[in-house]
Amino acid sequence: MALRLSSKRLYAAIASPRTAVVSSQCRCYASSASAAVASSNLPGAVKESITRESSLHSPDPSESSQTARLVNDQLPFMVPTYVRPPPMFQKGEGCYLWDVENRKYLDFTAGIAVNALGHCDPEMAKLLGHQAQTLVHTSNLYHNPWTGTLSKLLVEKTLASGGMQTASKAFICNSGSEANEAAIKFARKVGKVVDPSGAKYEFVSFYNSFHGRTMGSLSATPNPKYQKPFSPMVPGFKYGTYNHIEGLKDLVTDKTCGVIVEPIQGEGGVNVATPEFLSALRQRCNEVGAVLIYDEIQCGLSRTGRLWAHGALPAESHPDILTTAKALGNGFPIGATIVNEAVATKIVTGDHGTTFGGNPLGSRVAHYVLTRLSDPELQKSVLEKEKVFRKHFEALQKRFPDVVTEFRGNGLILGLQLTQDPTPVVTAARERGLLVITCGTNTLRFVPPLIISEAEIEAGMEILGDSMSAVFHQPVEVEGTKGQQETQ
Ligand SMILES: Cc1ncc(COP(=O)(O)O)c(C=O)c1O
């Protein structure tokens, strides 16, 4: 009875906004629960399991849980493309998710940089309902009020933001891979128009990049793990070293029709391109007449505090094509390929298309999301929130000097570089009520909803610190005891 009460109190603690006080209460309840179990005459394995369950906010569901029953029922029918952790999420609100056991998790992942406005934004939900009752889909064979309105807003907001000053038209599709696929096809078409001999077909991308899973975008993603099972890749793809200016001359040649680069590599480890590299790349593309594509699918849409991550660069370094997706629909699947006139004039009717892309439902949602995400107040707040993360990263680096080597990124796309596999930390954090993901090599990735509050960041980082303590066996720092420890 005492135990059950403790677990409930623990849940109640996380159900309210977490603070240092709440967190220390959690530890206090957990330790009294553990003490009760330790002095009981239960079998050792049962004791261990109860102690674990009572000391963690959201221990991964057991084999006998409702979650496991559901998963075991469903998994045999799913192509095994992903290995998922045990919880099953069924509800979201703001920066929180709830699993089917009704446990609450603070979400630092935002569906991999997607839910920038948080989960189930009420306005977006209302608008989705309204548009669903008005018009969902007609195909691209007909006009509708929203595909063009979204395209116009994408171009206008891009121009107003200081990013891609040649933005002229947009092609709306359904995902990041498709946005890049369109960009690759457009570059190939430009190459054919510029050089009708067909010799200008090579396409360049960079190591550690991620551009998608379709054959074209996968061919631009030089990661053997993703490419090997599906080789051979599309012919003509070449890879260079990110931020390596000297290599560009041999890499990008007269045969190159297009180059794609992430201004900040997301999956590759939150690696930031230097302004010098992007500028040199632009210059080299100009020299050989290649189309330059910035993939801002993960780093764009105000995640860096500017609408586009490349927005601080001078116009001379801007791309010919800009791709976006992820946050554009806040979870509704949609992507866009924004092009300049030089590209647009070389694409003719029938060259490219999509059945669903830009349907009225998706376009209306994205129009709303883009309007919200381009708000200067939100963008300003992203930079304030970055400071809070960085303060905690510094503290973690001091606390775990052998584990944390550096932190990188801009705004709310941040990476904490560890010397070892962060998977145990991810698990420990999840079991304490925080969702965080990895990327690159041993990097913890932070891409929370942009609407996250500073208090939520503080609470999440406290959980992360506790989780790292649990994994790396360092004592949890208890307020007021630091001085004593230092003098001992
Ligand atoms: C930079 C970048 N480009 C492209 C993609 C592919 O997007 P999608 O998964 O929507 O096809 C991703 C997805 O993670 C990405 O991060």
So what's the pLDDT on residue 38? 59
CA of 239 to the centre of ligand 1 (A): 18
Give the integer Cα–Cα distance in Å for 326 and 366: 10
In whole angstroms, give the CA distance from residue 322 to residue 290: 14
| Tens-digit pLDDT profile for residues 7-58 | 333 333 334 433 333 333 333 334 444 555 556 676 776 666 666 666 899 9
Ligand 1 atom 10: the closest Cα is on which residue? 176
pLDDT at 192: 98
**Can you state the angle between helices 20-38 and 44-55, rounded to 10 degrees?**
170
Determine the atom of ligand 1 nearest the C-alpha atom of 213.
11
Burial bucket for residue 477 (CB in 10 Å: 0-12, 13-18, 19+): middle
**Ligand 1 within 6 A of CB of 298:** yes
Bridging pattern class, strands 96-99 and 89-93: antiparallel
Q: In angstroms, what is the span from residue 193 Cα to ligand 1's centroid? A: 28
SS3 39: coil
Percent of the chain having pLDDT more than 90?
A: 85
Question: 222: number of CA atoms within 13 Å, CB side?
Answer: 15
Q: Which residues of 104-133 are buried (b: 16+ CB within 10 A; e: fewer)?
A: bbbbbbbbebbbbbbbebeebeebbeebee
> How many angstroms is it from 217 CA to the middle of ligand 1?
9
In the predicted model, is pLDDT for residue 318 greater than 80? yes
From 260, 298, 304, the mutation candidate for ligand 1 (largest count of ligand atoms within 8 A of CB) is 298
Whole-number Å distance, alpha carbon 477 to ligand 1 midpoint, is 38
- Supply the mean pLDDT for the chain: 91
297 C-alpha to ligand 1 centroid (Å): 6
Q: Delineate the domains of the chain, giving CATH numbers in brackets.
A: 1-55 (no CATH), 76-119+378-487 (3.90.1150.10), 126-374 (3.40.640.10)
The pLDDT score that the predictor gives to residue 48 is 66
pLDDT band for position 303 (cuts 50, 70, 90): very high
Q: What is the mean pLDDT of residues 462-488?
A: 67
Q: What is the C-alpha to C-alpha distance for residues 209 and 277, in angstroms, rounded to an integer?
A: 15
**Cα(481) to centroid of ligand 1, in Å?**
46
Residue 71 confidence class, pLDDT cut points 50, 70, 90? very high
pLDDT tens per residue, range 140-164: 999 999 999 999 999 999 999 999 9
Q: Which atom of ligand 1 is nearest to the CA of 212?
A: 6
In short, whether 296's Cβ falls inside 6 Å of ligand 1 is no
- How much of the chain exceeds pLDDT 70, in percent? 86
Give the model's confidence band at 329: pLDDT under 50 very low, under 70 low, under 90 confident, else very high.
very high
Distance from residue 332's CA to the centre of ligand 1 (Å)? 14
- Tally the residues of the chain: 488
| From 115, 297, 443, mutation site for ligand 1 pocket: most ligand atoms within 8 A of C-beta | 297
pLDDT tens digits for range 217-274: 999 999 999 999 999 999 999 999 999 999 999 999 999 999 999 999 999 999 999 9
Q: What's the pLDDT score for residue 55?
A: 80
Distance from the alpha carbon of residue 209 to the mean position of ligand 1, in angstroms: 10
C-alpha dist (Å) from residue 43 to 39, 50, 61, 326: 11, 11, 21, 49
Of the CA atoms within 13 Å of residue 246, those in its CB half-sphere come to: 0
Q: Is the pLDDT of residue 113 over 50?
A: yes
212 CA → ligand 1 middle, Å: 5
Report the pLDDT value the prediction gives residue 45, as an integer from 0 to 100: 65
Tens of pLDDT, residues 72-111: 999 999 999 999 999 999 999 999 999 999 999 999 999 9
53 CB within 6 A, ligand 1: no
Q: Helical H runs in 77-146?
A: 110-113, 122-132
| Ligand 1 closest atom vs CA 214 | 11
pLDDT for the residue 50: 63
Is the pLDDT at 483 greater than 70? The verdict is no
111 C-beta closer than 6 A to ligand 1: no
